[in-house]
Amino acid sequence: MSWFQVFFVFFLGSSINCIENLINYRLPNDTFPLSYDLSLTNYIHESNFTFNGNVKIHIKIKEETQTVTLHRRDIIIDSIDLYDGNDILKLSNLQFEYLEEFDFIRVNLETPQNKDSEIFLDFTFNGLLEEEASGFFKTPFINSDFRQEWMALTKFESINARKVFVCYDEPQIKAPFRVRIRHDKNYHAISNMPIDRVITNDNIYVTTVFQETPKIQTYALAFVISKLGFIGNNQSEIEQRIFGDPEKIQKGFGNFSLKVVENIVKKFKEIFSKSIPIPKLDHIGIPMISGASEHYGLITYEENFLLIDENFDQKVLDYFQPIIISVIAHEISHQYFGNIVTHSWWNELWLTEGFATFYQYYLPSLIFPKYNFMDKFRNEVLTYAFDIDSDNEISMSEYVESPLEIQMKYHNVVFEKAAAVLRMFFIAFESEVFTNGVKKYLNDNKDGVVTSNDFYKALQSSYNDKNPGSQLDIETIFQSWSNQAGFPIIHARKVNSSVILTQNKFNDENSSNIYKIPITFVTKSKPLTSKQLWMTSQTMIIDNILTSDDWIIFNIQQVGFYRVNYSRDLWQLIINGYSNEIHAINREVLHEEMEIAWQKLKTLKICDCLQFMNVLKYEKDGNVWEKAEYIEKLDKFLQFSDFYPQFKDLLSKIVEPHLNILNEPKVDEKFNHLITRWSKVAQNQDYLQFEFDKLLKFMTTEDERYKPDFCSAFRVVNSSIYEHFIEKVLHFDELIDLDLVFGLGCSLNKNQLKNLYRKITDPSNNVAEWMITEILRTSIEGSEIGLESVMEFIQGNLCEFNKLSEHFIEDIIIFMHHYINSENHLKKFKILSQVLSVTKIVPQSLINSMIESIGMKLQASEWKELKICMTREQTSSTYQAESTTQGASSINLMQNKLFYLMFYLLLLFCKN
């Protein structure tokens, strides 16, 4: 299933009308299928997108009935014939009715059928291939002659088999299928089972007949009609083939995946002590579709998830190969979770998708350790689960019934959240206990349908074997997560040597939800010894756990699906004791939770963040730096405020100890990138000089190895070099580096900037308007000097700007107002805005709106907090500088009508 579909259905789900819950959308359960004989003919080779066929269903009567109700949507029924239990025709052209809201077709058998009797119903039908990847659909491909042709294939999950043939389209109703596909002889057909035989019909058509499947659910059925090529290995226990574009297969683009699928199947067998009970497993790369879909013995993939050119640069391979491995592992895991055991209804879908999502990371971590798949799990699955579930009101086991609800069940709660919960208990119950429980779950329910209780029962048995006499109730523990929406946040506060924990649902402190949480923690005095306790009520006390200077960290290596909110005194202990003794993952999480406490919970202040930021002086792990996202939020909030120089000074001191990386090989590219990024923001002088030196080498050699960060280099460049690059821009060609062009706007010299602005706005230089816009924007967002220079230049050079497009200045002013963050700049902005309003360049209503927005920002409570926590010397010097600036601009130009009249007359002169 594509990520877009998962994202879409999650948010659309909230709009389902609750009245649907009052209607029964399920089949009446008075009959069930014993087998299906399905025959289809397609005409895809003619670019004819119709199909027709018949399905003969062997039916068992569970309760006396005169009608049989099945699923059908979109297809047209031509006729229905009734056969008795001996397959003898009894009635032709039976009467039927459509119940469109339910996707039902109700067939009238004319006479009641006795309980436990058997009948056959033979439906003939026709339909159209879908445009989208649903049901039986078409997709184009380009042949070796570069001409477009078509292929046809199916995607029945979740309830789309009914769009192709009449059936019992519910997951708990499993039956064997015998499939026959009639198609053009130049195409080949693939289905769940190996081919039994191919029958030649005439000069055009053949019929491919497949072996009978075991009992499977309708959505597990699949077939593909195409001209794809393949590479295979029939020497392994299960024959596996990689299908794809014939030319790409010939070039070896399927070789990597073939090795991957063999290794993954072997590893699953090793873990579960059970082979996948299938005779073959085909993996089919389809162009022009997204996502991947599992079926019994056949998996379809977006082409990029299966085929790859192994001649790519290693960096490219290191990015794409783990994606391919992960997707393949997810889909193969469905041969166990989904096919060997099938969810009994859609509220149990998390059993299928949660296990598949967990094992798509865990299993490859055992085979391909270099890709750190469990780190990827934490950064991709766990992080996304936290984000999507923070305001969610849908539980993992939410009951659904209507067709629309069922299709929208495929949201992130049953994928990422379920996987995060399973991983938590994989560790809490110990991997051996958990794995043995899963093996028992698969063995006890082989080829059957399951509920979550079946899994809990198997896991409980495994746990009891390892922990005889334990009173731990796994069903109760699991249900607190599967039956309740959201996840908990633990509030930790220190009382003498003890810690008191309380829990509530994240983002809902009034919720009555109580989660059964495996609490893990370490302390400073015992940093290598972690402990686990079970929190089963709203409050828990951990007695006598801390010494006077002990820090304590909960949720070790973020194994639990919960957040932690530390009290301020516990944060202070963590700050005082922050070192590499704290595991790197725990340090990452601390930076995340600092931001949560400041931004979301409001339990910490902006000054707490600034204090915690100091620990990064000693941090050399790029992953930890990456989690300190609050730096960017602090930067945006403080940018160009009266406190911004102090913030940049603090940031500069934090990056200073790490600047030796500039002259060293890039061992940790993430770390290098982030140190460079924040050195640039802080305008650290050593870093700026480093980039300027590279600029000088680049000018003399034009060697790309010395290409600098132009923005940083131009902050300290002298006027002659700066002028050299201005001239280069004025005579640019299409190959000029745009980073160089825009970097000119980063200068910290007002004279340089105003000279630049004059030249780029001079019509005789023919500088493109989009380029002028980007240079001015770079100045505005790059520094206070740049911001002030643009304001002053616009105010003093309206004639030049009047020659540009009608809304040019208005667009620049709108962009500029986001960077006004002090009373001093607001005063200057008001003067400029009034000029632009009087001269009719910018509407007064727009100006009023912008000024109101700036005023609200300057009233934020954080400014008062900052005044308290900044040192007195710094704040007094800041205020003194501010008052001096304000005094210099104290002439009230806003009321000087002569001033505005002058500008207005000047503008009229410009226009004439």
Is 629 labelled a binding residue?
no
Q: What are the residues whose beta carbons fall under 8 Å from the beta carbon of 105, sequence distance 6 or more?
A: 69, 70, 71, 72, 77, 96, 97, 98, 99, 166
Is the dihedral angle over the CA atoms 121, 124, 125, 126 positive or is it negative?
Answer: positive
Give the CA-trace dihedral at 293, 299, 305, 307, to 10 degrees. -160
CB neighbourhood size of 27 (10 A): 18
**Nearest Cα to 73, choosing from 449, 409, 404?**
404
- Helix pair angle (584-595, 606-613), 10° resolution: 160
Long-range contacts formed by 228-237: CB under 8 A, 24+ apart? 228/151, 228/188, 228/284, 228/285, 230/254, 230/282, 231/255, 231/258, 232/258, 233/258, 233/262, 236/262, 236/265, 237/265, 237/269, 237/275
User: Is residue 64 a contact partner of residue 113, using CB atoms and an 8 Å limit?
Assistant: yes
Residue showing tokens 């640019």: 732
**Nearest Cα to 122, choosing from 57, 216, 28, 61?**
57
User: Is residue 753 a contact partner of residue 788, using CB atoms and an 8 Å limit?
Assistant: no
How distant is the alpha carbon of residue 220 from its chain centre? 26
What is the Cα Rg of the chain in Å? Answer: 34
Angle (CA) 879-884-890 rounded to 5° is: 120
Rounded-to-integer distance, Cα 536 and Cα 522, Å: 20
**SS3 of 688, please?**
helix
User: Is residue 470 a contact partner of residue 489, using CB atoms and an 8 Å limit?
Assistant: no
Q: What are the residues whose beta carbons fall under 8 Å from the beta carbon of 178, sequence distance 6 or more?
A: 35, 36, 37, 38, 210, 212, 213
Is 353 labelled a binding residue?
yes
Query: Is position 331 annotated as part of the catalytic site?
Result: yes
Share of the chain residues as helix, strand and coil, in percent rounded to the nearest 5: 50, 20, 30
**Nearest Cα to 123, choosing from 219, 208, 38?**
38
End-to-end Cα separation, the chain, in angstroms: 63
Q: What are the residues whose beta carbons fall under 8 Å from the beta carbon of 579, sequence distance 6 or more?
A: 618
The Cα-based distances of 62 to 58, 89, 116, 676 in angstroms read: 13, 21, 6, 72
Is 731 labelled a binding residue?
no
> Annotated catalytic residue: which of 157, 170, 302, 331?
331
Q: 563-566 and 488-495 as β-strands: parallel, antiparallel, unpaired?
A: parallel
User: Is residue 396 a contact partner of residue 482, using CB atoms and an 8 Å limit?
Assistant: yes
Q: 104-113 and 292-295 as β-strands: parallel, antiparallel, unpaired?
A: unpaired
Q: Which residues are catalytic?
A: 331
Bind-site residues for Zn(2+):
330, 334, 353
Bind-site residues:
330, 334, 353
